[in-house]
């Protein structure tokens, strides 16, 4: 799945209606309040063992689980997407975090998110909701994850692989219940891309009507 995968200095801020004519958007699940502390502890251990010149770390406020990357989006498409997502009725989803892993070719260090039937169904519901607005679901299998770091340049792939072997015992992360999902805008800056929250959509308890 395409990954909007941002850089350090990224954050997620609630903003007003966009003024730009074309937006770079994606839809994702923000992490529950307790989860970033688990990840931050793991990242602290990784920092102490990583070559700083090789890796660029994602800011904790940027951590999320992507449901769909939309990319360039016109204002008309933006209005269409938000209207369709507001109509989506779906229960809250239990999210379990897996192991540290890497995309060697892309040079990405991430925490895997196992795909439960409920998470996959939510992802498919989201892509179905955006389809009338001109967005086509990717053909690759859904592979959710949380990006922690990216290599700088082209020489950091080996460094990422070494990091996994240096962390012993492997970190364990708590699960959480996703109670909402978010439409984010990715805005490039000299320090790296920044996230702004355009819309938030609630997931409902399973006993809700």
Which among 198, 184, 178 has a CA at the least distance from the CA of 90? 178
Q: Which residue has the higher pLDDT, 95 or 156?
A: 95
Residue 3 inside a domain? The answer is no
Tell me the two tokens of residue 183: 């439409």
| 56, 155 contact by CB (below 8 A) | no
Domain count, the chain: 1
Q: Specify the pLDDT at position 19.
A: 62
**For 1-18, what is the mean pLDDT?**
46
Q: Specify the pLDDT at position 1.
A: 44
Residue 197 inside a domain? The answer is yes
Q: Would you tell me the crossing angle of helices 117-130 and 75-86 to the nearest 10 degrees?
A: 130
Q: Specify the pLDDT at position 157.
A: 62
Q: What is the pLDDT of residues 47-77, one digit of tens each?
A: 777 766 677 888 888 899 999 999 999 999 9
Instruction: Read off the CATH number of the domain in which 35 is found.
Output: 3.90.1140.10
Which among 138, 101, 145 has a CA at the least distance from the CA of 119? 145
- What are the angstrom distances between the C-alpha of 111 and each of 21, 76, 97, 144? 34, 35, 7, 9
Q: Going by C-beta distance under 8 Å and a sequence separation of 6 or more, which residues neighbour residue 170?
A: 99, 100
Residue 74 inside a domain? The answer is yes
Q: Whole-angstrom distance between the N-terminal and C-terminal Cα of the chain?
A: 33
Q: What is the pLDDT of residues 30-52, one digit of tens each?
A: 987 767 788 888 888 887 777 66
Residue 194 inside a domain? The answer is yes
The domain of 145 spans 12-202
Q: Is pLDDT above 80 for 94?
A: yes
Q: Is pLDDT above 50 for 5?
A: no
Residue 7 inside a domain? The answer is no
**Mean pLDDT of all residues in the chain?**
82
* Strand 180-187 with 22-30, pairing: antiparallel
Percent of the chain's residues with pLDDT above 90: 43
Indicate yes or no: pTM above 0.75. Answer: yes
- What are the angstrom distances between the C-alpha of 177 and each of 13, 30, 58, 160? 21, 11, 23, 29
């Amino acid at each position: 799945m395409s990954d909007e995968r941002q850089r350090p200095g990224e954050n997620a801020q609630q903003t007003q209606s966009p003024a730009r004519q074309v937006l770079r958007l994606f839809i994702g699940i923000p992490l529950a309040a307790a989860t970033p502390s688990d990840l931050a502890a793991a990242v602290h251990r990784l920092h102490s063992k990583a070559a700083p010149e090789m890796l660029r770390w994602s800011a904790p406020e940027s951590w999320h689980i992507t449901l769909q990357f939309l990319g360039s989006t016109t204002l008309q498409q933006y209005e269409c997407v938000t209207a369709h997502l507001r109509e989506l009725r779906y229960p809250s989803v239990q999210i379990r975090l897996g192991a540290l892993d890497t995309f060697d070719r892309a040079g990405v260090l991430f925490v895997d998110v196992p795909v439960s039937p409920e998470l996959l169904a939510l992802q498919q519901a989201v892509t179905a909701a955006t389809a009338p607005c001109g967005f086509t679901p990717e053909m690759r299998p859904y592979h959710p994850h949380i990006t922690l770091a990216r290599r700088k340049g082209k020489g950091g792939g080996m460094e990422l692989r070494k990091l996994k072997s240096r962390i012993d015992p492997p970190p364990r992360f708590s699960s959480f219940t996703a109670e909402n999902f978010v439409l984010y805008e990715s805005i490039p800056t000299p320090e790296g891309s920044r996230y702004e929250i355009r819309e938030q959509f609630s997931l409902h308890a399973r006993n809700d009507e």
